[in-house]
Amino acid sequence: MPIFLAAVVLLALVFFSRFWAAKPEVYAHDFLPAETNFYYEWSSKDSFDENVAKYNLFDATIGDEQLNKVATIVGPEFSQVEELIWFRVEGRTDDAYLLRFADLEREYLVTLAEKNEDWFFYVPAPDILFIGPDEAMAQMVSSFVISRFTVNHSRDGVNLYWQIDKAPEFLESLSSLLLPLASSRDSFVNFTDHSIDFWQPRNASTTKSKALKFNQAKIPSRFDLAFGFNASSTDGFDKFIASNVILPHFDNLPYQNLSNEELRTGFLSNAAIISSEDAWLLLSKEDWQSKAIDLIQNLQLNEVERVLPDGTLYTELVASQEPAVLRHDFAGQTYWQIDNLYGFSAAGNYYLSNQVEMIENIMTSEAVFSNLWSNCLKNDKEIGDFVDIKTDYLTDGLLKDYFIENNIVNLGLFSYQNYTVEGIKLCF
């Protein structure tokens, strides 16, 4: 055994000396094997204390167990670890780890190998340490960056990757939750104290464009709720929002009497809705004026007495005559009024509201839609569906109770895409 141990230590030192001369900026994440089918990454020292348990999406104690396991192997030098990845590879069920140290010393590594005979250690680059069951897995450590693991990768918080059809047991419930949204087997999630981000690689040849086209449209200076949908929004997503957010919240919306299909095709396709107390605002790339006239006629019905051929009297509800369109000037611009609805257009964006104050606010506001996600998503992301709501405005139930319990006062939920990925991000 001493001869074997000495040979292992000598082999490790050969690897060490090969790479120790220079210290380029590298990360443990850069050395994941191409055969990796699952990883759980603590991207920084701060993320070791990331409270992923509060999200209740999977058994977070599993991650804590792995942290403690590695800390036991590494010993006091664990305080020098700045990044840690627990991973598995295709065809094997045993665990392996990649660590990035602030300063990984040769003398420490010799001691580490002597104290942990059941583990194989390998240094593929300065300050990067592989810990695994055997040399065969160490040989899988990549000498070049695997591109699919770098796309949309975050160096903040906790990152997970797995194949959604082969999820580790502790991720099976999360996989079931995400499966209806999945378009690829490669699934990624990033958890931070202020967001949850789920994404997958985008297949540009089969993925429909999901981008809303009014990122630079104006928004009111203040509001309680905003949400928007596009024509390619999924049935499940927009119907859920319509039933659980729109209808319970907007008691005074004019389309309360419309059918779900009219609601979806008329207002949940390439449109956004904003509310502030009793005021609401609709935004679209299509002129609202004709729809406003239809709404007024649909909702203002007159009772007309009719007589059947047999002399029977009956009452028929007849739509009112087309209302007049009034024009008003404000702040050097013009908006129109049809009954109690008000409309305005600027830069190819059309606005409709039930309150003149909301329209006049829009006409003078300098805030734009992209402000909603500027602190949540990078500029290269195109927004699809989104919801931005104060927790107090959620309808009573478990969802509202959960967010209040975790002191989350405002939520932003965005579907997004760029040339390489598509995903859904929750920010709070």
Q: What CA–CA distance (Å, rounded) separates 63 from 51?
A: 11
For the chain, the first-to-last Cα distance in angstroms comes to 55
**Listed ranges 122-126, 162-166, 248-252; the one with the highest mean pLDDT:** 122-126
Of all residues in the chain, the percent with pLDDT exceeding 90 is 27
Residue ranges per domain, the chain?
Answer: 2-183, 225-427
Which has more confidence, 404 or 74? 74
Cβ–Cβ contacts within 10 Å for residue 228, how many? 27
Q: What is the pLDDT of residue 17?
A: 43
Return the pLDDT at 167: 86
% of the chain exceeding 70 in pLDDT: 73
Cα gap 336→195, rounded to integer Å: 40
**pLDDT score recorded for residue 256:** 44
Three-state secondary structure along the chain? CHHHHHHHHHHHHHHHHHHCCCCCCCCHHHHCCCCEEEEEEECCHHHHHCCHHHHCCCCCHHHHHHHHHHHHHHHHHHHHEEEEEEEEECCCCCCEEEEEECCCCHHHHHHHHHHCCCCEEEEEECCEEEEECCHHHHCCCCCCCCHHHCCCCCCCCEEEEEEHHHCCHHHHHHHHHHHHHCCCCEEEEEEECCEEEEEEECCCCCCCCCCCCCCCCECCCCCCEEEEECCCCCHHHHHHHHHHHHHHHCCCCHHHHCCHHHHHHHHCCCEEEEEECCEEEEEECCCCHHHHHHHHHHHCEEEEEEECCCCCEEEEEEECCCCCEEEEEECCEEEEEECCEEEEEECCEEEEECCHHHHHHHHHCCCEHHHHHCCCCCCCCEEEEEEEEEHHHCCCCHHHHHHHHCCCCEEEEEEEECCCEEEEEEEC
pLDDT of residue 120: 95
> Is residue 1 scored above 50 in pLDDT?
no
Of 327, 352, 350, residue with least CA distance to 341: 352
| Segment among 32-46, 76-90, 142-156 with least mean pLDDT | 142-156
In this predicted structure, the answer to whether residue 272 has a pLDDT above a threshold of 70 is yes
Stronger pLDDT, 143 or 39, i.e. the higher one: 39
Segment 111-156, tens digit of pLDDT: 999 999 999 999 999 999 999 999 999 999 988 888 889 888 888 8
pLDDT digits (tens, 9 = 90+) for 190-218: 988 888 888 888 766 555 555 666 777 88
φ and ψ at 12, to 5 degrees? Answer: -60, -40
- Compute the mean pLDDT over every residue in the chain, rounded to the nearest whole number: 78
Predicted confidence at residue 3, as pLDDT, reads 41
Q: Does the pLDDT of residue 55 top 90, yes or no? A: no
Please give the average per-residue pLDDT across 234-262, as a whole number: 52
Please write the tens of the pLDDT for every residue from 2-24. Answer: 444 434 443 444 444 444 444 55
CB burial string 247-270: b at 16+ within 10 A, e below: bebbeebbbeebeeeebbebbbeb
pTM value is 0.75
Q: Which residues contact 369 (CB under 8 A, 6 or more apart)?
A: 212, 214, 215, 216, 217, 218, 219, 272, 383
pLDDT for residue 19: 46
pLDDT at 60: 75
Contact in structure between 160 and 42 (CB atoms under 8 Å): no
Asked whether the predicted pLDDT for residue 102 surpasses 90, the reply is yes
> pLDDT per residue over 411-425, tens digit each?
888 887 777 888 888
pLDDT of residue 219: 87
Other beta carbons within 10 angstroms of residue 165's beta carbon come to 10
Residue 70, token pair as written in the block? 């590695």
**Residues 155, 285: Cα–Cα separation, whole Å:** 37
pLDDT above 80 (res 301): no
Are 87 and 40 in contact by the 8 Å Cβ rule? The answer is yes
d(CA 140, CA 137): 5
Comparing 61 with 377, the larger pLDDT belongs to 61
